[in-house]
Structure 1
Amino acid sequence: MDMDGDWPLPRPTTRFKIGRKRSAGSLTKTSSIASTFSSLAAPVVAEAVQQARALSVESRPEGFHQLRIAFRKLRALYWAYSPYLGEATSAPAIEEFKRLAAVAGGTRDWDIAGGLLNDALESGASIETLVAAAREKRAEAVVHSQTMIQSDAVEAFLNDVLLRAQTTLESSCGELPVRAFARKRLRLAQRTLRKRSRRAARHEIAHEEALHDVRKAGKKLRYLLEFFQPVVKGGHDRTIKALTAVQNKLGQFNDIAASETLIRSTSFDAVPAAVVEESLRWLEGQKCRRMRAASRRVRALSE
């Protein structure tokens, strides 16, 4: 992934009202596709801008986490509306949301890895030098994230892409009602999750890549259910709750797998190789246990 890729950031003369949080509760089955997009996007964008501003002066772990979630939600929303947005409008925006989420995630990944290494240390592993090195890597990641995520540039970018999207939707789908459209996109997201769950469930212990695919599909469906709940028939609270439970298990596994990959791919000049290997053995043991738990959840989901 090109972490230094740029998005053109002109400041348009007409601004999308990102500072005004719209209520999803005001959405109805007769709301138009175009107006629903702006109502759903505005609060997520406001959250992203708020977190980006806060992270320019501080480095709270939860702040990086919430910023990454905001960009992931925007990716899901753009995917949902992509049939009317078109490839030229949706694809570049989705790629930039992905890049910004990855930049924010660089610090978050070291927060998670550091927490796991502390757990290993408390369980008796002799990895003090690696724990200290991980803190240094986290500090470097903070500087990189703050350099790459300038709040003014993020706000300008979001203002630009959302204004483009709103303009495109108003011209491509006008006043078409949102309910049938929302149902169709939800069905597609559900089919994708079902297909990936069944593929992962073919094995007693699912492959890492298969579990990762289920996690991404489940996350997208959950975000879309949360977005579209006011305009589709029937409550989806139970489905969202079930998806959240599965995501928690998959997330615990992913934290281990991602931390293992991060430590394997990082050069620690002052840490003996034997110390790194000891941490990886501990992570491997934890990963096997969490993989089994995640596989059980996925099998239940596929049924």
Structure 2
Amino acid sequence: MSTEIELKLQLSPKAARKLADHPLLANIQSQKQHLLNTYFDTPALELHARRVAVRFRKKGWQWLCTVKSAEPASGGLAMRSEWEAPATPGIFDFSHVDADDFRDFLEKRSNQFEPIFTTDFRRQVWNVPFGESLIELAIDRGQIESGGKRTPICEIELELLAGRVDDIFTLTRQLQESIELFPAIASKAERGYALFLNEPLRPFKSKPVPINEQQTPIEAFRSIALGCLEHFQRNEKGLLLGGEAEFIHQARVALRRLRSAIKLFAPVLPPEFVAAYGQTWQTLAGALGDTRNWDVFLEETLPPIAEAFPENSDIKRLRKAAQRRARSARKSVIGLLAVKEYPRLLLEFTAAVYTLGDTLPIPLKDFARQQISSHARKARRMASRHAELSPEERHKMRIAFKKLRYTLEFFAPLLPPRKLNPYLAALSQLQDELGLINDHITANMLIAEALDKRPVGPIHGWISGRHTLLVSELPEALQTWLMQRAP
């Protein structure tokens, strides 16, 4: 088995034509190949469910059988286990797979395998000596085909043949100076399955990060931060295609989780890393927050107001003004993703996370215990005096609960589920109620902005009454949570 460390980057056909003339490649002999690949799976797509790819590849006159475990990619960088050996097309021989359980899994299903999709592309390859490393730089141009449907391939793959991972990033930075390159996370296999299944683009939600107590805090942070980045990147296309409300919501949650993770692990992170990336995402997060506020107002807050005041002449004008501002907020998000600094930020952040060293060795369980206790104490202190909190302090309490929830979710694999699950359930209910209270405070500000501060007494009165009712119901949710024992 070999471990493949690979950085994948998308580029336009025009940029692809410029690549061969780049000074870094000018004096290096390249090789050209035509690669035809057929990917196989069972009718139930059991390999896809396990994030495994099995393919036959025709490379010149040679046929190869390849097995890959598709680990998630972030910032374009993926680390995958790979087994490859000469083969006869249609004969599945997995004797070269040296992981016994995995090989047994494949062999038991091989008689069910059927072709799912093909990739057909031309590859040009350079072996680039760079820094202390040897890096294979390949540009692929062609197509993926399944059931008569096709989608184009135009991408660069940089694979570390020998040396250090950070040399891949340094090489990419130099390429980015003259060529527009965008970190990509979807492998050809992933795109092929999406084509086969005719899957529509869907918002991507966060997934549990598989940390374990054998890791150091830095190693755990690396997994968590890259998981947050993947969460954001997988919603990026939805943002660029118009930003359906749930894509906006998930992208915003991804950045909030990422920023929370940086603050959570700040005691063990290098100060220069925290200084560089603690606020880096703030502008984009702010634009997503503005868009989300208008979405919530239009989809959740305004409909009951319109139902309560069906004859009010301000409702129609308010809806149109809010829709204009929501469209403008979406354009701001798209504009931020279009600037050349954005793909560079993805690359720089990924590089910085991968090259972090341990500055404060401490058992991960001890670190998790300290951080959970600290966040839980702060939240409990504020909850115990909720009756005397001002609206501004109540907002801070909501943020404290959100940080506590993210902390628990990050460290969930280290915690006993029988204690964690009821605690998180009570915390989620509390957050929902505080979120509704905050939505009504935000609604008053949005109405003033949308209607140029024109008074709308009945509407403001309705919002104020609803806000008072929600605040009166808060003590019960707080008491339910306070009765739970922190895991």
* TM-score, reference length from structure 2: 0.53
SS of alignment partner, residue 117 of structure 1: helix
In 2 relative to 1, CA 240–154 (structure 1 residues): closer, same or farther, beyond 3 Å?
farther
* Shift, 1:166, TM fit: 4.2
Q: Is 1:183 paired with 2:337?
A: no
User: Using a 3 Å threshold, how does the CA distance of structure 1 residues 45 and 211 change in structure 2: closer, same or farther?
Assistant: same
Closer, same or farther in 2 for the Cα pair 1:232/1:301, shift >3 Å?
closer
Kept in 2: contact 1:52–1:151 (CA 8 A): no
- 1:97 aligns with one of 271, 281, 292: 281
Seq. identity, %: 24
1:244 shift after superposition: 0.4
Residue 233 of structure 1: CA displacement? 5.2
Whether 2:404 is the aligned partner of 1:247: answer no
What do the CA deviations read for 1:223-262 (whole angstroms, capped 9, x no partner)?
Answer: 1111111124564111111110100111111111111122
Counterparts of 2:441 and 2:475 in 1: how far apart (Å)?
A: 14
1:128 partner letter: K
- Map 1:128-167 → 2, pairs under 5 A: 128-150=316-338, 153-167=341-355
Instruction: Work out whether residues 440 and 463 of structure 2, in 8 Å CA contact, stay in contact via their aligned partners in 1.
Output: yes
For residues 155-192 of structure 1, the C-alpha deviation after alignment (integer angstroms, 9 at most, x for no partner) is: 53233234324433x24146x43111111111111111
Bigger RCO of structures 1 and 2 (CA < 8 A, at least 6 apart): 1
In the alignment of these two chains, the number of paired residues is 283
Say which SS state the counterpart of residue 355 (structure 2) adopts. Answer: helix
Classify the secondary structure of the residue corresponding to 1:96.
Answer: coil
| C-alpha contact (below 8 Å) 1:133/1:268 kept by paired residues | yes
Q: Does 1:224 align with 2:410?
A: no
Structure 1 residues 193 and 99, CA gap change in structure 2 (3 angstroms)? farther
Local SS of the residue matching 1:230: helix
Residue number in structure 2 paired with 1:48? 232
2:378/2:400 contact within 8 Å kept: yes
Query: What corresponds to 2:395 in structure 1?
Result: 212
- Is 1:286 aligned to 2:466, yes or no? yes
Per-residue CA deviation, residues 16-75 of structure 1 (Å, 9 max, x unaligned), is x98499x85643212222221122222221110121232111220111111110011111
Alignment TM-score, normalising by the size of structure 1: 0.82
The residue aligned with 1:259 is: 443
Q: Deviations over 1:185-214 (max 9, x none)?
A: 11111111112212324x3xx421222111
SS in 1 for 2:333: helix
Counterpart residue type for residue 451 of structure 2: F
Report the counterpart of residue 13 of structure 1 in structure 2.
Answer: 170
Task: Give the gaps of 5 or more residues in structure 2.
Answer: 1-167, 173-182, 188-206
Distance 1:152 1:63, change over 3 A: farther
CA distance in 2, matches of 1:124, 1:93: 47
Q: Secondary structure at the match of 2:363?
A: coil
- Tell me if structure 2 keeps the 8 A contact 1:199–1:210: no
| Structure exhibiting the larger radius of gyration computed from Cα positions | 2
SS in 1 for 2:279: helix
Q: 1:182 to 1:284 in 2, by over 3 A?
A: same
Greater helix share, structure number: 1
Residue identity opposite 2:397 in structure 1: V
Partner of 1:95: helix, strand, or coil? Answer: coil
1:281 is displaced (CA, Å) by 2.3
Change (3 A) 1:152 1:220: farther
| Residue identity matched to 1:84 | V
State the alpha-carbon separation in 1 of the partners of residues 350 and 403 from structure 2: 20
Q: Point out the structure with the larger strand share.
A: 2
Of residues 283, 296, 299, the one that matches 1:112 is: 296
**Distance across 2 between alignment mates of 1:233 and 1:178:** 15
From 85, 88, 91, the counterpart of 2:272: 88
The 8 Å contact of residues 268 and 358 in structure 2, kept in 1 or not, is answered as no
How many Å apart are 1:80 and its aligned residue? 1.5
